[in-house]
Structure 1
């Protein structure tokens, strides 16, 4: 897949996905369709899937392999390396933001703080916030930002790294908007989505992270997802 050249975040403004209603409706349709096809109360697995045929006990068996978040390497607010392995055996919520964003990011962080407080101390849950402005959002800036939010410990990590890799994982793995747009303030559009990921790195839900209703739904679905792993 060809990658789009992205414009740097120059004046640190952002546009929400109001201009991306078609995308949002498409995701909503996919979630509804997957839910309708579900035979139990489990959350659907979103994204592409591939039919794989293998031999089991001498018989040919076709199974579905679902899209998953690939390995990555970023740096946290503590200056250490964060990879996909850091989140092994966890469900987690991912989002994209930047610390100087004056529009949707403050709303998102208020809502994600609710999630943090609700699941604080739960060893099966993590939060992962990716900055889309790594040129400004250094390790020290992210650490101060986390501290100002009242975030301690390693349950909620704020990560920075190579800008192109951050945009790539947003668009191609988490299925959220992160692209150049010359009509948007700062030349960049990113979504206000929160993405729920299971322990197998499959995407299980995408939610509006700017509203209380959207995040209430996220927290309900997090409990549903955690229940899947109970004996």
Structure 2
């Protein structure tokens, strides 16, 4: 039996998206596939390879220790609201398009389809638990990713990791080398619109981060993300897809 985290055939490749209506619809809602057009030639800086990793280890370890009582309270709340697993895992795209398993606190009901982004669900609100609604609006459901940072699959700051089958997003990010850095818990796109952004705009902002990556940029993203935990009005259940539906309906 093959593992769900088998090697991505596009790992380390530069890709483009080829639209084809005869193929299966991907997680971005478009029919087509990724096609390799070369090898990635991105060269990480000294800051990315060493300093950023040390910062990630220190912050993630401290976060795991300090937030342990919060984790316990959330676990109890999830269990009471909708019995089932506390953690939700998904196959995501990591640095250089390598697959990894991302962890979240489960905010959706057990009946929710797996590996389907929220904007692809019909009426996504029906799948979200009461506790989950609060967690998502305050980004609390993302807290288990502190472990993903500690083990090296993610960074505190970086482009948000896309689903393994979000081919349009992957291709757009490749235009800006945004797939060549570690994905993050938060990033430049998250503090500049989040769900209000279309895929090309998100990818462009991720590219701006990669172009300016450094301690100053990471501090700016980190400080800009602190307000999210007070309630993020840019979170739209269903994301850009839901906003399109509402716009078309009007």
Structure with greater proportional helix content: 2
Structure with greater proportional strand content: 1
Question: TM-score scaled by structure 1?
Answer: 0.29
Q: Which has the higher contact order (CA 8 A, sep 6+)?
A: 1
